[in-house]
Amino acid sequence: MLRYLHDLGRRATHMFLTVARIMVPVMVLVYVAERLGLVRLAGEALSPAMAWLGLPAQAGIVWATTVITNIYGGIAVVAALSGEMQLTVAQMSALGAMMLFAHNLPTEQAVVRRAGASALFTGSLRLVVGAAYGAAVAWACHLGGWLQEPVALGWLSGSGAGAPAGPPALWPWLVGTVRSLLLIWLIICALVVLLDLLERLGFTRWLTRRLAPVLRLTGLSEAAAPLTTIGMLMGLAYGGALIIEASERENYDRRTLLLALCWLSLFHAVLEDTLLIAALGANIWIILVLRGVVVLAIMMALAFATRPATRWGQRLAQAR
């Protein structure tokens, strides 16, 4: 028993260190960018483009902060701007979906790159899909007169989330970063134990059989199904860590890695992140159900475009 726990602990620690070596330098760079005001400048530069997406100018600051930091950072900006930014349910749903598609790109796409896919391609995919989906939702609801009720954001200004959206001082940031890394290590440990238990109970094989029809549509191999599912539920950092470890062990081909990491880039942490955005007043059908359908369609298109008979598929096969 002790040997079993020791082996699992060593495996989990190896996975954590692999991810931490990627995340910590990026987290430092993002913090410096926040302190220098570069994040807010990026948001202000995006503000004019928000009008084309059917969103208020302040949405640019929200999305830029979310893209560079994380969803919690974006929510803090929403809270800070709640007195001046007026949103309908449709606009909040559009902005929320954009936040769900594209957040924490510096850190998460660094993990994706280490796992075996292009950070530039997957990051660009998240930004383009997020902007296109947000614009489609905002304009469709505006033209159809749907979900035009105003969202009440006043409660945010009276809560802890309504604190200033600026970056914290150095010591609180260091404490928060250490806590985040410790939490990631604990979650990875729990996931390693859970996956091993599910494998021994036969649940992994049962899940793979149930997911087989969807896997065939999206071009994923059955071996990548459990890891992709965990990432979709728990988050890209945790799913990415599992895929990094599994890719070293299973030697996935380049196409499988690309498709799995595109899945995780577009659709991960669907429970926690979706509930956070829904709490702001976004429509759950738009930010979860319809978004999931769109991601499935995109993955089917990517699977078709990367078939072995295509030029892209041949390039992936040669890059193995």
Give the model confidence (pLDDT) of 62-107 as tens digits: 999 899 988 888 888 888 788 788 999 999 999 999 999 999 999 9
Burial class (CB in 10 A: 0-12, 13-18, 19+), 117: buried
Q: Is the pLDDT of residue 197 over 60?
A: yes
| pLDDT attached to residue 28 | 86
**Residue 133 pLDDT class (50, 70, 90 cuts):** very high
Give the model confidence (pLDDT) of 254-307 as tens digits: 998 899 899 999 999 888 799 889 999 999 999 999 999 999 999 999 999 999
Give the model confidence (pLDDT) of 23-64 as tens digits: 788 788 878 887 888 877 888 888 889 989 999 999 999 999
Instruction: Look over the chain and give the mean of its residue pLDDT values, rounded to a whole number.
Output: 86
| pLDDT attached to residue 166 | 60
Residue appearing with tokens 């738009």: 286
| pLDDT attached to residue 296 | 94
Alpha carbon distances (Å) from 110 to 27, 107, 119, 123, 131: 11, 5, 6, 10, 21
| pLDDT attached to residue 161 | 46
Burial class (CB in 10 A: 0-12, 13-18, 19+), 320: exposed
Q: Is the pLDDT of residue 221 over 80?
A: no
Contacts by 289-297 with C-beta closer than 8 Å and gap 24+?
Answer: 291/97, 291/100, 291/101, 291/133, 291/267, 292/267, 294/129, 294/133, 295/263, 295/266, 295/267, 296/214, 296/217, 296/218
| pLDDT attached to residue 160 | 45
CA 41 to chain CA mean position, Å: 23
First to last CA, the chain: 38
304 or 229, greater pLDDT: 304
**Residue 158 pLDDT class (50, 70, 90 cuts):** low
pTM greater than the 0.75 cutoff? yes
b vs e for 212-231, b when ≥16 Cβ sit within 10 Å of the residue's Cβ? eeebeebbbbeebbbbbbbb
Please say whether the beta carbons of 237 and 19 come within 8 A: yes
214 or 156, greater pLDDT: 214
86: which residues sit within 8 A by CB, 6+ positions away?
A: 56, 150
Question: Taking residues 139-155, what's their average pLDDT?
Answer: 92
Please say whether the beta carbons of 134 and 286 come within 8 A: no
Beta bridge partners of 88: 150
| pLDDT attached to residue 164 | 47
Please say whether the beta carbons of 8 and 193 come within 8 A: yes
Please say whether the beta carbons of 136 and 77 come within 8 A: no
CA 198, CA 207: separation in Å to the nearest integer? 10
